[in-house]
Amino acid sequence: MARKFWVFAVLVAALIVPAAKADQLQFTFNLSGCSGGCTVPAGTVLLTQDGLNVDVNVNLNNPLASGFIDSGNGNSHTSFVFDIAGVPKINITNLSAGFTFPADSTVDSPFGTFDYGIDCSSSGTPKCGPGAPKVVPPPLLFTIGRADGTKLSLSDFTSNPYA
């Protein structure tokens, strides 16, 4: 149970290794916060430039055995957290069922605090957490745009201490 929990907790955008194409940027989750040694890579985040916005596709390598959680353990683990250079005000649209934005916390121990977070929903379908018994299956899909209507670019996601 603890192993499954940590697989989900490590899925944070600031803890990934980027690979780039012209209009896409893919990050691979290569770090683990598991005390029991979770398998890495655990999944990927694919960012695609979509005009002024960026489409996000978060997928896990073993979707039959893993999913997204929000531990509820003092809000110490949010389902998905990320940073954007300059910390702009953003809008999230086209969010997958079972998720909410903004998250109630942007903390992801042991990795730190981030600027933005998305939680599994504790109501509706699918219903999530707290904890590993109640997971929302991948993928997690959404579109990010700047609230001021200016262009959000792929390069805004590449500045982090783990890349």
pLDDT in tens, 40-81: 777 889 999 999 999 999 988 876 666 776 665 555 567 888
Q: What is the pLDDT of residue 125?
A: 62
- Token representation of residue 24: 């896409």
Q: What are phi and psi of 151, to 5 degrees?
A: -70, 130
- What dihedral do alpha carbons 19, 138, 38, 129 form, nearest 10°? 140
pLDDT exceeds cutoff 60 at 161: no
Under the banding of pLDDT at 50, 70 and 90, the label for residue 16 is very low
Buried/exposed code over 35-45 (b: 16+ C-beta within 10 A; e: otherwise)? eeebeeebbbb
Q: What is the pLDDT of residue 102?
A: 87
Q: Which residue has the higher pLDDT, 45 or 11?
A: 45
Q: What are phi and psi of 12, to 5 degrees?
A: -125, 140
Greatest CA separation found in the chain?
44
- Token representation of residue 106: 């942007």
Q: What is the pLDDT of residues 92-133, one digit of tens each?
A: 999 998 888 988 778 777 777 889 988 877 666 666 655 556
Under the banding of pLDDT at 50, 70 and 90, the label for residue 152 is very high
> Whole domain around residue 115: which residue ranges?
2-157
The pTM is what?
A: 0.77
Query: What is the CA angle 147-21-102, rounded to 5?
Result: 30
Question: Number of structural domains, the chain?
Answer: 1
Say if 162 falls within a structural domain.
no
Say if 163 falls within a structural domain.
no
Say if 121 falls within a structural domain.
yes
- Token representation of residue 61: 């390598």
Partners of residue 8 on adjacent β-strands? none
Q: Which residue has the higher pLDDT, 37 or 44?
A: 44
Buried/exposed code over 68-85 (b: 16+ C-beta within 10 A; e: otherwise)? bbbbbeebebbbbbbbbe
Which residues does 147 contact at the CB level (< 8 Å), separation at least 6?
Answer: 88, 89, 90, 91
Say if 24 falls within a structural domain.
yes
- Token representation of residue 95: 């969010």
Say if 118 falls within a structural domain.
yes
Say if 136 falls within a structural domain.
yes
Say if 59 falls within a structural domain.
yes
Say if 99 falls within a structural domain.
yes
